[in-house]
Amino acid sequence: MELSQVEKQLIRESYARISGLKLEAGRLFYGRLFQLDPSLQEMFHRAPLETQAEKLMQVFDWVIDRLDTPADLKQQLAELGAKHIEFGVKTDHYALVGASLVWTLKSALGKEFGPEAESAWIELYTYLSGQMDG
């Protein structure tokens, strides 16, 4: 992962802005994901949506804390990816998740989520999904 210091700062700042809205952001994310592909709802029957939203945001907490040490992410992302395969996640799903993530950030932050922040998040998510799907 080759994020610049500016990109890391943009990610941290935008994530900090939604930190008080984590449950709402998680709900927005899954709502958008299920709009893009309603069949994905079947994968989330194990726990209430609020629990899934909380887990999603915990993963992003963990990632944001390690932006400066990507080596700390690599193995755990591969393990997380392996777990997701067990749940039925396929390569095509990662693009939908990325689109839902960006849409959620835009929806939650509005004008505070500019093109530079969007680009930084896309780069981060591309790295994350590549490690999980590798």
pTM above 0.85, yes or no: yes
Using 50, 70 and 90 to split pLDDT, how confident is the model at 96? Answer: very high
Span 63-85, mean pLDDT? 87
pLDDT for residue 34: 95
pLDDT for residue 79: 86
CA distance 96 to 36: 7
CA distance 51 to 126: 25
Span 92-114, mean pLDDT? 95
Task: For the chain, give every domain's residue range.
Answer: 5-133
- Domain 5-133: which topology? Globin-like (1.10.490)
pLDDT of 125 above 90? yes
pLDDT for residue 4: 96
